[in-house]
């Protein structure tokens, strides 16, 4: 099924009509973060090829927009089935490209299949609005208003390396459900996994000119496609700095951005300390902390600090650490440069008085699970998003104190509070400035039918199944005057 997306070890791009080689001679090598072996080569699309893709999708989108809801839903269901059939193939590339542990790689593909199926089911039940006039002073009841959802046009989807299948799928499925065409720009690291995903949608029966996937230099592609007059919406997941640059050049169009985060966990004296330790360990260290929703800072109330930190060390020691994603839970970060950046954060914290009580060492791009205590606001690790298996811990005394500390962050994606006191839980949850506040559970992007959003420098717009469809459509208002 995947034979046509490559020749030997060189993967093509899809221009909306066919899988093609770019005319640019120099291809991009994808190297495994595990052993630096070459996973494959991808295309480096040029400006003419990118503009051709837009033209192809302009024509195809009009045809796709005229299809019935049933036709779209059936294709999404078929794509979901194909994904699940090829879970092993796609998940194996996640192991090779981004060193994702085996279980998490399989889960990502299955979750993507479920998102696709559920999106198709949701579009069947998306309702319009009927309104009547005569509700205001001195108006007559002689107008009827119909509001329906129509396609927005061509969506540019830009996905990150940490979830190249799942976060590509969460853009593709709602875009297609809404009657749009979509151009996917996968990350360079993780691109091959995303190419396999796109082939699942093509093989499900999508007409030509409805989906495309381009690869190459991210800045070049962004500079050409983001401001393009025929791109109606941009769905981007990535760093805040890149999001700001896209917004600067995009012009007037719909922006749906999932950006950085500095998710805080707050453990209060009344928490179930054993369960809290397990939740925080999972939240901080799954996929080596390379998640926007990972717990990136822990605040512990003084009374329970010593006991909780001891339990965290015990839970963290259970994690297997190594280079092999087939057997290890903590695997190498995707790049050496980022691992060196994380090492610098740890060094800065130690130089300013923090204590590393576990881990703290780097072997190439493999960072040991690290716990740092006595972290203060002047340390970089307190405010910078580490995107690594590093947990900084700060102790506090009062609720208002910790609320102030958490809200100093420039980010506002997700946070958590752990306590058995429901009054304190809501007191904290209602005052923390994040898109989502979790009570007695670690932050997460799912379940995918929940709204997912960030405030401040963590994002624009709302994700989720229904929410993403609404973000990728627009309202059409029809007013009828009656006698």
Residues labelled catalytic: 258, 292
How far apart (Å, rounded) are the C-alpha atoms in residues 403 and 419? 15
Pairing of strands 455-456, 411-412: antiparallel
Q: Choose among 361, 465, 398, 387: nearest CA to 124.
A: 465
Q: Both tokens of residue 342?
A: 């994380």
* Residue 341: C-alpha distances to residues 34, 162, 291 (Å): 18, 17, 16
The Cβ of residue 384 has, within 10 Å, a number of other Cβ atoms equal to 17
User: How many other β-carbons are positioned within 10 Å of the β-carbon of residue 188?
Assistant: 19
User: Rg (Cα) of the chain, in Å, rounded?
Assistant: 24
Alpha carbon distance 58, 153 (integer Å): 8
Residue 373 contacts residue 309 (beta carbons within 8 Å): yes
DSSP string, 197-251: HHHHHHHTTPPTTSEEE--S-HHHHHHHHTT-TT--EEEEES-HHHHHHHHHHH-
What sign for the dihedral angle of Cα 138, 144, 149, 153? Answer: negative
Say how far apart CA 468 and CA 116 lie, in whole Å.
12
Cα–Cα distance for residue pair 437/428, rounded to 1 Å? 9
User: Quick check: 255 and 234 in contact, CB under 8 A?
Assistant: yes
Determine if the peptide bond prior to 447 is cis (ω within 30°).
yes
* 423, two tokens: 């009054």
Helix (H) or strand (E) segment spanning residue 130: strand 129-132
253 SS3 class? coil
Coil, helix or strand at residue 62: helix
Beta bridge partners of 463: 452
Q: Identify which of 388, 156, 401, 420 has the alpha carbon closest to the alpha carbon of residue 302.
A: 401
């Amino acid at each position: 099924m995947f034979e046509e997306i490559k020749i030997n070890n060189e993967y093509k791009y899809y221009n909306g009509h066919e899988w093609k080689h770019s005319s640019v001679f120099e291809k991009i090598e994808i190297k495994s973060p595990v052993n630096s072996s070459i996973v494959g080569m991808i295309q480096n699309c040029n400006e003419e090829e990118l503009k051709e893709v837009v033209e192809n999708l302009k024509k195809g989108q009009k045809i796709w927009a005229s299809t019935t809801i049933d036709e779209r839903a059936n294709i999404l269901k078929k794509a979901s089935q194909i994904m699940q059939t090829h879970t092993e193939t796609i998940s194996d590339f996640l192991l090779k490209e981004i060193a994702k542990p085996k279980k998490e790689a399989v889960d990502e593909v299955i979750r993507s299949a479920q998102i696709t199926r559920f999106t198709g089911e949701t579009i069947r039940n998306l309702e319009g609005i009927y309104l009547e006039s005569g509700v205001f002073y001195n108006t007559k009841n002689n107008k009827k208003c119909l509001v329906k959802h129509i396609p927005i046009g061509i969506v540019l989807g830009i996905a990150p390396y940490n979830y190249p299948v799942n976060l590509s799928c969460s853009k593709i499925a709602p875009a297609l459900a809404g009657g749009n065409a979509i151009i996917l720009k996968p990350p360079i690291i993780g691109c091959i996994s995303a190419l396999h995903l796109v082939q699942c949608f093509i093989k499900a029966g999508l007409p030509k000119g409805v989906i495309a996937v381009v690869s190459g230099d991210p800045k070049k592609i962004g500079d050409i496609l983001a401001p393009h007059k025929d791109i109606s919406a941009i769905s981007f997941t990535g760093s805040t700095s890149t999001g700001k640059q896209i917004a600067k050049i995009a012009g007037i169009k719909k922006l749906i951005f999932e950006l950085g985060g500095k998710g805080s966990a707050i453990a209060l004296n009344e928490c179930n300390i054993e369960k809290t330790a397990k939740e925080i360990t999972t939240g901080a260290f799954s996929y080596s902390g390379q998640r926007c929703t990972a717990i990136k800072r822990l605040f512990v109330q003084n009374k329970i600090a010593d006991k909780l930190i001891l339990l965290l060390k015990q839970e963290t020691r259970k994690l297997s650490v190594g280079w092999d994603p087939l057997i290890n839970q903590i695997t190498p970060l995707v790049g050496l440069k980022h691992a060196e950046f994380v090492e610098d954060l740890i060094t800065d914290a130690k130089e300013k008085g923090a204590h590393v009580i576990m881990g703290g060492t780097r072997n190439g791009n493999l960072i040991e699970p690290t716990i740092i205590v006595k972290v203060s606001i002047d340390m970089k690790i307190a405010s910078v998003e580490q995107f690594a298996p590093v947990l900084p811990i700060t102790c506090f005394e009062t609720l208002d104190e910790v609320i102030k500390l958490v809200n100093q962050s420039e980010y506002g994606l997700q946070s958590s509070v752990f306590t058995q006191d429901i009054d304190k839980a809501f007191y904290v949850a209602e005052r923390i400035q994040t898109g989502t506040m979790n009570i007695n559970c670690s932050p997460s992007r799912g379940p995918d039918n929940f709204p997912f959003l960030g405030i401040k420098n963590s994002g624009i717009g709302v994700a989720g199944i229904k929410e993403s469809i609404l973000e990728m459509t627009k309202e059409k208002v029809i007013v009828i005057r009656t006698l």
